[in-house]
Amino acid sequence: MDVIRSVDTMHALALGWRARGKKVGFVPTMGYLHRGHTTLIELMRQRCEILVVSIYVNPLQFAPTEDLSRYPRDPEGDARKCQAAGCDVLFMPDNLYPPDFRTTVDVSGLTSRWEGAARPTHFQGVATVVCRLFGLVQPTVAMFGEKDFQQFTVLKSMARDLAMGIEIVPGPLVRDHDGLALSSRNVYLSADERARALTLHRALYAIRDHASPDAEVRKAAGRSILQCDGLDYLEIVDPETLEAAPVIDRPLRAIATARYGRTRLLDNVAVLPA
Ligand code: AMP
């Protein structure tokens, strides 16, 4: 596995692969890798000839009040995990943006609600960094986890709208042994917060398993289980438009974000008609 820190070296390598018609798979991350990330890397390994993983904690997607400076990092451990999962090139730029960088990418509509309502500049930062990474890595196919369901929908829409010619593939949401969705931010949780955080996926499972076609009835079943320090949203949405659906008459997605202490946790589950 090669570790590349220079943006120019990465781009030159990628243009060479493109000229030779290589199928390049790409898994972008912010590091502090867990089994959710390594599952995506292993799945992507089976779909491509050259596998690139990036690790970059992107300042553009953090608001000034958020956890950029204390975001957990473990570059040596991450490199070992990438190598074991079959990565060919680990792209770990110290600085991704040129000093006079002035472009932003805005996927309107899809980004204004749910996570976007709670974090108004977040998806613009995500779309912008992924667009630049796509330009540098020139992938044929890229994988994003369903753990961040809205992010996956936004990036799929961006790639299609801008005719990027990159296949955007969902990766399955990976959970801890007790059901908590794996997240780099789980390290922030105290023992008590982590215990209560288990009610987040249980509430979503209750919504999934309830027999009623009425979304309000199902959401009430979920809310009655949930224990948290603040619920940002708990909704049943259309997976393409992310609009709230009143009736469970087709495959939908229950999505939720709840706070435990200072930590916001996201989770979601597929919901099918009874
Ligand atoms: P992050 O490092 O949090 O930016 O995540 C990098 C990629 O890994 C994104 O596509 C995430 O959706 C994905 N990811 C994070 N946690 C999980 C998980 N528990 N299961 C599956 N994919 C995940």
27, 34, 147, 257: which to mutate for ligand 1, most atoms within 8 A of CB? Answer: 147
Residue 141 has pLDDT above 90, yes or no: yes
| Pocket of ligand 1, beta carbon within 6 A | 29-30, 36-37, 40, 144-145, 147-148, 171, 173-174, 181-184
Over residues 166-175, mean pLDDT: 98
Percent with pLDDT over 70 in the chain = 100
How much distance in Å is there from the Cα of 144 to the middle of ligand 1? 7
The tokens for 55 are: 């690790």
How much distance in Å is there from the Cα of 210 to the middle of ligand 1? 28
Rounded Cα distance, 5 and 159, in Å:
25
Residue 177 annotated in active site: no
Residue 221 confidence (pLDDT) = 98
Mean residue pLDDT of the chain comes to 97
Q: Which domains does the chain have, with CATH numbers?
A: 2-171 (3.40.50.620), 184-271 (3.30.1300.10)
Residue 50 confidence (pLDDT) = 98
Residue 274 has pLDDT above 90, yes or no: no
Over residues 108-136, mean pLDDT: 97
32, 35, 37: which to mutate for ligand 1, most atoms within 8 A of CB? Answer: 37
In the chain, the largest separation of any two C-alpha atoms, in whole Å, equals 57
Residue 253 has pLDDT above 90, yes or no: yes
Q: Which residues of 173-199 are buried (b: 16+ CB within 10 A; e: fewer)?
A: bbebeeebbbbbebebbeeebbebbeb
Per residue in 195-250, pLDDT (tens digit) is 999 999 999 999 999 999 999 999 999 999 999 999 999 999 999 999 999 999 99
How much distance in Å is there from the Cα of 35 to the middle of ligand 1? 9
Question: What pTM value is reported for the model?
Answer: 0.97
Over residues 41-68, mean pLDDT: 96
Closest ligand 1 atom to residue 181 Cα is 19
Show Cβ contacts of residue 145 under 8 Å, excluding neighbours closer than 6 positions.
36, 37, 40, 152, 170, 171, 172, 173, 174
Contact indicator for 71, 184 with CB cutoff of 8 Å: yes
> Which among 34, 37, 177, 201 is annotated as catalytic?
37
Residue 26 confidence (pLDDT) = 99
Per residue in 171-197, pLDDT (tens digit) is 999 999 999 999 999 999 999 999 999
Query: Of the given ranges (63-67, 132-136, 192-196), which has the lowest mean pLDDT?
Result: 63-67
Residue 67 confidence (pLDDT) = 87
Closest ligand 1 atom to residue 145 Cα is 12
From residue 111, give the alpha-carbon distance in Å to each of 33, 119, 265.
26, 10, 18
- CA 76 to chain centroid, in Å, comes to 22
Please give the backbone phi and psi of residue 144, each rounded to the nearest 5 degrees, phi first: -130, 140
